[in-house]
Structure 1
Amino acid sequence: MDTKNWLQRRQVAVYAVAVILAIGVAVGRPESDSFLEGLIDPVLAVLLYVTFLEIPFVRLRRAFTNGRFMAAALGMNFLIVPVVVWGLTRFLPPEPVILVGVFMVLLTPCIDYVITFAELAGGNSEQITATTPALMLVQLLLLPMYLWLFMGAEVAEVIEAGPFIEAFLIIIALPLTLAWLTEVWAERSPKGESWQETMGWLPVPMMGATLFVVIASQLPRVQDSLSQITVVVPVYVAFLVIMPVLGRVAAGVFQMDVGESRTLVFTAVTRNSLVVLPLALALPAGYELAPAVVVTQTLVELLGMVVLTRVVPAGLVPERPSRIPLSNSVRGD
């Protein structure tokens, strides 16, 4: 039996089991949250390493020159998303402690597990991988500006570059380098080739492990604040519904093929919550609720991603032999 194909066909069941187990651990053993939180970065790094192994590096080099996709990804994340976020936050109570958490997490595009989710949905994973340095740099520069615009200078001044750079080096650069070295090894040695083939069945289990450690470690943080932060859940759900549709329309505008279109959808909707969380924890006194607001987005998004990995290829961006015309994108058929 082909383990890789068997797991891919049952990936939703694997993720559902991971989520159920994570909730069980979070409720039954909440004291384990600190240990599990320490596993998030290593698990993410392994997840992206096995994902990168699926990408031939000759295609990755070509992806760096795709200016159309780069322009679309940057435009969606730093022009369209802020407008959508501003509109959605008009439905929230005008409480700075809630608004700052929502703005911090929704204004920063994901640079890590978006690659895996795009891959699982049949997207162009090498293209989003090539785009992550630009997404990381631009969000680092623009997040303080957006917070200043939406919230004032006091909040904007606490944003530091350190967590963004550290996350990029550990979660993106290191796994990418190791994957490249593995590919070189596989080309020169049967042992390397065997190792690469063995790693091929790991993306789905590692995504399940990521769901488990993130939810099990972060759910206890949210439990004590449920009555205060439930107000943000509809905003996060609305974002998960709106942005895939806008990403689909943008793919039509840029005349993208199916793989690029699915990837654009995922980079438009996934957010950088795991990197933003340390920033929220570093906010000054009076903003203690902000980390719980960020964590809530993580939980909502991860569950939403499990759904979108099926909905995007099945209905939103189905398989087609040619580029997606704008007229079809607008009609939604």
Structure 2
Amino acid sequence: MITNGWLQRHQVAVYAVAVALAIGVGVGRPEAAPVIERFIDPVLAVLLYVTFLEIPFVRLRRAFANGRFMAAALGTNFLVVPVVVWGLLHLLPADPVVLVGVCLVLLTPCIDYVITFTELAGGDAEQITATTPALMLVQLLLLPVYLWLFVGPAVAEAIDAGPFIDAFLRLIVLPLSAAWLTEVGAKRSSKAAAWQETMAWLPVPMMGATLFVVIASQLPRVHDSLAQIAVVVPVYVLFLLVMPLLGRLVAGLFEMDVGESRALVFTSVTRNSLVVLPLALALPAGYELVPAIVVTQTLVELTGMVVLTRIVPAWLVSE
């Protein structure tokens, strides 16, 4: 019999099956991609809802008051990461389209499934949740500045804040509010309590579903441009290798405990690819390749996250 504990113990196998199925569908049935793409936001919202349900809101309120973690998360994402990205850009050809795509995705810290991956790695997920409003606001303000510095003013002026705000409301505020209402209701109603208990089964299956819809819907977009965008893959892999180590270093400097350290590692490395994709699609003519560059980072990162959920607790930030 499959139990919640069984799902937790075999989560990597569940994700591997989801990724394999997604690749099969993405390659074998590329015409299905537009239909599958419509499910990305709903599936991601449900994933975050069931993730938020696992975080008692009394602990979340305390997390908001943790100024040390907030400072470390903001400093790592908006001081350390830009320096790393600036260095990585020198490994790429001097093509503005490629540089814009890489900057767009690597300079924006994740605000959604980073919470789930942190939880799966035994990290302090409520700390990540508490930082999402600040991470969202600061990246909204600083992304045009970094693009202006790294690429030039023309692209910075083309960035619209609308998709950022819309994604934050749909993918963070709405699921978080629903989780809070469920938690309140569970204290007053046996039916709500039973609902909350049932939802505890869903984090692993919903992460598998998220991996499936993202990869199956976006792989055809990447597949058509493989020769042109292959150059960015080593840069994305290097980012995945470097940032967990730097995140761990910063956590040590701030003398964080195990849960906080793991949380800082994951917020350092995960990027906001699903949120910036609408921005990439909205760029002016001449930047048609940027969405494929962003999606490539999604595929590389999701694969890396499955590995990091094991490596971080077992080696990088062990008990």
TM bracket, shorter-chain basis: over 0.9
Cα distance in 2 between the residues matched to 1:65 and 1:259 = 16
Q: Does 1:29 align with 2:1?
A: no
Q: Equivalent residue of 1:286, what SS?
A: coil
Q: Per-residue displacement from partner, 1:52-111 (whole Å, max 9, x unpaired)?
A: 000000000000000000000000000000000010110100000101000000000000
Q: Does 1:201 align with 2:167?
A: no
| 2:196 partner amino acid | Q
| 2:36 partner amino acid | L
Cα distance in 1 between the residues matched to 2:105 and 2:163 = 14
Cα distance in 2 between the residues matched to 1:163 and 1:119 = 27
Aligned-pair CA distance for 1:189: 1.0
Cα distance in 1 between the residues matched to 2:95 and 2:234 = 16
| 1:106 partner amino acid | L
Cα distance in 2 between the residues matched to 1:247 and 1:97 = 29
Paired-residue identity, %: 80
| 1:134 partner amino acid | A
Q: Does 1:219 align with 2:227?
A: no
Cα distance in 2 between the residues matched to 1:270 and 1:80 = 14
| 1:140 partner amino acid | L
Aligned-pair CA distance for 1:4: 1.1
Q: Per-residue displacement from partner, 1:162-183 (whole Å, max 9, x unpaired)?
A: 1111111100000000000100
Cα distance in 2 between the residues matched to 1:45 and 1:283 = 25
Q: Does 1:146 align with 2:161?
A: no
Counterpart mapping for 1:229-240 below 5 A: 229-240=229-240
Aligned-pair CA distance for 1:2: 6.9
Counterpart mapping for 1:1-333 below 5 A: 3-319=3-319
Please, which runs of 5 or more residues in structure 2 have no aligned partner?
A: none
| 2:212 partner amino acid | F
Cα distance in 2 between the residues matched to 1:102 and 1:2 = 41
| 2:104 partner amino acid | M
Q: Equivalent residue of 2:187, what SS?
A: helix
Cα distance in 1 between the residues matched to 2:78 and 2:268 = 10
When normalised by structure 1's length, the TM-score is 0.95
| 2:81 partner amino acid | V
| 1:13 partner amino acid | A
Aligned-pair CA distance for 1:224: 1.0
Q: Per-residue displacement from partner, 1:254-273 (whole Å, max 9, x unpaired)?
A: 00000000000000000000
Cα distance in 1 between the residues matched to 2:156 and 2:167 = 20
| 1:284 partner amino acid | P
Aligned-pair CA distance for 1:192: 1.0
Cα distance in 2 between the residues matched to 1:185 and 1:110 = 30
Q: Per-residue displacement from partner, 1:211-268 (whole Å, max 9, x unpaired)?
A: 0000000000011110010000000000000000000010000000000000000000
Cα distance in 1 between the residues matched to 2:209 and 2:2 = 21
| 1:179 partner amino acid | A
Cα distance in 1 between the residues matched to 2:169 and 2:287 = 28
Q: Structure 1 2/216 Cα, relative in aligned 2: closer, same or farther at 3 Å?
A: closer
Aligned-pair CA distance for 1:31: 0.7
Q: CA RMSD in A?
A: 0.7
Cα distance in 2 between the residues matched to 1:165 and 1:302 = 23
Cα distance in 2 between the residues matched to 1:299 and 1:218 = 9
| 1:228 partner amino acid | Q
Aligned-pair CA distance for 1:286: 1.1
Cα distance in 1 between the residues matched to 2:42 and 2:26 = 20
Cα distance in 1 between the residues matched to 2:151 and 2:233 = 20
Cα distance in 1 between the residues matched to 2:259 and 2:4 = 21
| 1:177 partner amino acid | S
Aligned residues: 319
Cα distance in 1 between the residues matched to 2:49 and 2:43 = 10
Please, which runs of 5 or more residues in structure 1 have no aligned partner?
A: 320-333
Aligned-pair CA distance for 1:282: 1.1
Name segments (4+ residues, structure 1) moved above 6 Å: none
